[in-house]
Amino acid sequence: MNKNRPLIEVKNLKKYFNISEGLLKSKTLKAVDDVTFDIIKGETLGLVGESGCGKTTVGRTILGLYKPTAGEIIYKGNPVRNESDFKNFRKKATMVFQDPYSSLNPRMTISDIVGEPLDIHKLYKNKKERDEKINELLWRVGLNTEHASRYAHEFSGGQRQRVGIARSLAVNPEFIVCDEAVSALDVSIQAQIINMFSELQQQLGLTYLFIAHDLLVVRHISNRIGVMYLGKLVELADADELYTRPLHPYTKSLISAIPVPDPKIAASNKRIVLSGDIPSPLNTPKGCPFHTRCPYVIEQCSESAPQFKEISSGHFVACHRTDKIN
């Protein structure tokens, strides 16, 4: 397979939820609204944004945990459309969940938790082969065979997340969605887990969609980064390019809030504070979704939604005023 060919293509993806508002009344919540991007084989695409922006819904919809309202998901050039397609896709695509405390069944041993995908997809011939595979998976994530007979409550948060990662590796996947996979962990443990993700990527040729709200974490692990706001992708670029030359006002604000260890540089950095609250996705504003908080807003911004277009090689942005504010 061509190294630069997309492993995953997401085209005009939408995921809407009907939210009940009492007797026979409902409103549409546009969790993901016309999102397009691709992920190259072997890379890590970071996806960032404030809570409620739709980034987790993107990950879950790609894997078929939510049924897409509209749009296309393409894996290795083949559309993934029906339940049968998603079932085959999930043999090569898995997820690491945010909370290592609630994502592991407390009634199951670590051996059975890690072995569950092996059982579902019948990936062994006998019990001996099953045990060998489970032990190898535990070894890959820094645990050992003694841990196999224990239960999740006997482990720390970092160890539980290692168990979750071992489970995600059981089907020998090509693609993993990491949904806030380190946000529930202590900072020192975060670094260990992120380094392990990088090592596993090199050893196994993995491709990641890394969803997080911490931009420092995302920059450390990602080749490219997409920024989401209110269900839409507003900017996408190489990680270094996004940090040194953000084009969208929302991205500029997010990056200005990152703490800098050097006090001299920190003192000269100007924090961009946004006014107002994020609008409800139940009542998304007309035009550009960011115009209610944007310091550069003009009348056009409230009237029409900007196109998500390529400004320079590999750098995409959705803003009417890119030329004027950069």
Sheet with 232-238, edge to edge strand ranges: 93-96, 175-179, 207-211, 44-48, 224-229, 232-238, 315-317, 309-312
For residue 170, pLDDT beyond 60: yes
Residues 182 and 305 in one domain: yes
Per-residue 3-state assignment (H helix, E strand, C coil) for 34-75:
EEEEEEECCCEEEEECCCCCCHHHHHHHHCCCCCCCEEEEEE
Residues 189 and 294 in one domain: yes
**Domains of the chain: total:** 2
Print burial letters for 179-209: b (CB count within 10 Å at least 16), e (below 16).
Answer: bbbbebbeeebbebbbebbeebbeeeebbbb
For residue 322, pLDDT beyond 60: yes
State the residue for tokens 């079932």. Answer: 87
CATH number, domain at 277?
3.40.50.300
Residues 199 and 185 in one domain: yes
Which tokens in the block code for residue 59? 């990950």
Residues 162 and 294 in one domain: no
For residue 176, pLDDT beyond 80: yes
Residue 185's pLDDT is 84
Nearest one of 95, 309, 319 to 211, comparing CA atoms: 95
For residue 3, pLDDT beyond 70: no
pTM attached to this predicted model: 0.91
Residues 237 and 271 in one domain: yes
For residue 133, pLDDT beyond 90: yes
Residues 202 and 236 in one domain: yes
Residue 222's pLDDT is 95
6-29 residue pLDDT tens: 999 999 999 999 988 777 788 899
Bridge-based pairing state of the strands 6-20 and 26-40:
antiparallel
For residue 177, pLDDT beyond 50: yes
Evaluate whether residue 97 is within a structural domain: no
Mean pLDDT score across all residues of the chain: 90
Evaluate whether residue 220 is within a structural domain: yes
Residue 325's pLDDT is 86
- 3-class DSSP assignment, residue 274: coil
267-293 residue pLDDT tens: 556 667 777 777 888 888 899 999 999
Residue 106's pLDDT is 87
Residue 183's pLDDT is 86
**Percent of the chain residues past pLDDT 90, beyond the cut:** 66
Residue 319's pLDDT is 96
**What mean pLDDT comes out for the span 132-138?**
94
Residues 184 and 274 in one domain: yes
For residue 121, pLDDT beyond 80: yes
Amino acid at 229: Y
Of 129, 154, 172, which residue is a domain's last? 172
Residues 268 and 197 in one domain: yes
Residues 21 and 75 in one domain: yes
Residue 282's pLDDT is 86
Residues 51 and 84 in one domain: yes
213-249 residue pLDDT tens: 888 889 889 999 999 999 999 999 999 999 999 999 9
Residues 212 and 267 in one domain: yes
Residue 264's pLDDT is 60
What separation, in Å, do the N-terminal and C-terminal C-alpha atoms of the chain show? 38
> What DSSP string describes 104-119?
S-TTSBHHHHHHHHHH
**Percent of the chain residues past pLDDT 70, beyond the cut:** 94
CA–CA distance, 221 with 219 (Å, rounded to integer): 6
Domain range holding 134? Answer: 107-172
Residue 261's pLDDT is 61
Evaluate whether residue 100 is within a structural domain: no
Evaluate whether residue 30 is within a structural domain: yes
Residue 202's pLDDT is 95
Neighbours of 36 (CB within 10 A): 15
Residues 160 and 185 in one domain: no
41-57 residue pLDDT tens: 999 999 999 888 999 99
Of 172, 206, 229, which residue is a domain's last? 172
Evaluate whether residue 102 is within a structural domain: no
Residue 1's pLDDT is 40
Residue 262's pLDDT is 57
- 3-class DSSP assignment, residue 19: strand
